[in-house]
Each structure stands twice: as C-alpha cells, then as structure tokens.
Structure 1
C-alpha cells in the first residue's frame, strides 16, 4: 500500500479558509463519510457522554450548530506539523489555542480528527 500523499500547507490553507468563510460543505469536503471526530467539547455542547462523533451527518449537525451560534468564529493558523499520513494544525480559536491532528485515509480525506485545547 502506498503512503497517502498530503501537502500539509495546502490542506491547512484550504481547511482554515473553509472555516473562516463558514462554509460547512467546504469544511466537510475534507472528510471521509465514516470520519471519527474526538473533542472534549462534544459532551459540553451536546450533552453526550463521550467526546466522539462518528460520520459526516453527526459532524454536519455539530459544526452547523457551532457556525450558527458563533457568527464571528475565525481561526488563526499558528503552525503546521506533518507526520506519516497525518497533519497537525496548531491554531488560535475562540476558546484559545487548539492542536488538531488529522489522520488521512482513502483519497487523502480525513478519516479521524482529534482536537486538543489549551488547559485553563
């Protein structure tokens, strides 16, 4: 199996631009249909027991709510880190600094994403 080819800077730019335009469909275009998203914010926002969402429909509902509720939401890219079939974006969001790691699968789409927030 060939390694997945990802240009970290291109991914970062496109992902960030989609978020800053509040274009939900452009954001979701980066993800596989069966994506898994992990974030400690999920239980706080949804009341769910675990901080895991599975599949694009769950992400669409979760992020759609966030984009509606935060009309001034903007992310500022601080750094891009790359690994084997992974990219980590370090950025400033409305809650402070975030490190989000993206694991890529088929067609260079995100199969899993893990968001970590600055403590405090």
Structure 2
C-alpha cells in the first residue's frame, strides 16, 4: 500500500522533532516491535559487536539511549529531501554532532500498518559548518 504525501510529511516532521528533542519514546512509537534496523554507527556505540543490525524495539531503544549519552549528546537533524516510493520513505538529512561538523545521511524507512518495520541508515562524508 502506497504512503500518502500527508502521512509522509507528518511522519518526517514528528521523527525529526522527536530526535531534535532527544525524545526517544516518541521516536520509538513510530517503529514496529520487530524492527529491522541497520546502521554502521551500531559498531561505534558497541565496538564489540560483529553485526551492525538490531532486530527489536527494546534493543533499538538501548542503542539510541547509549549513543545519545556517550557518543552523540548534542545530535541534531536537519531535513534535506524526502522521496516516497510505495511503502518506503527515503529521507536525506544532515546530522550535526557537535555544532561544528555535520554529516549527510540517507535513511530508508519501510512501513507496514503505519509503523516502520525496516530502517537502513547510510552516511556520507563529514563537513565543517
């Protein structure tokens, strides 16, 4: 089932706002319990892990809380572009980590019944701002 433009716009707004407030509960409410999440940053937060994948909401919450506390305490997102394809959103945004540097990010979200069931994160180069 294709996502509507109004759903996508509201989802992106809520997702960005939740992240910028570091409101993990709000962000998590957009994800399925059995989320498939993949990001190279998983290995930054958990260097002992052999996989960059997370497969449930509880583990995702622990990862995000630890990342915000220990690795990225001033994380902020600025949206750049949104593309819609059927039940998927491709969101391009800047992740500002310290107020001085930002990284270009593309995140692919797949939805079922209004919730994210799969999320894959891809990082570009870091640049000074």
The TM-score normalised by the length of structure 2 is: 0.84
CA shift, 1:40, in A, is 1.3
Q: In the aligned structure 1, how far is the partner of 2:105 from the partner of 2:60?
A: 18
Q: Is the 8 A contact 1:24 1:63 kept in 2?
A: yes
Once the two structures are superposed, residues 51-106 of structure 1 have per-residue CA deviations (whole angstroms, 9 ceiling, x without a partner) of: 1001001101000112223332110111111111000110000350000000001x
Quote the residue 2:94 is aligned against.
92
Summarize the Cα distance change of 1:45–1:71 in structure 2 as closer, same or farther, 3 Å threshold: closer
Alignment-derived partner of residue 40 in structure 1: 40
2:51 aligned counterpart, secondary structure? coil
What is the root-mean-square deviation in Å for CA atoms of aligned residues?
A: 1.5
Residue in 2 aligned with 1:114? 120
Asked which structure has the greater RCO (Cα within 8 Å, sep 6+), the reply is: 1
Task: Identify, as 1 or 2, the structure richer in strand.
Answer: 2
Runs of 4+ in 1 over 3 A off after TM superposition: none
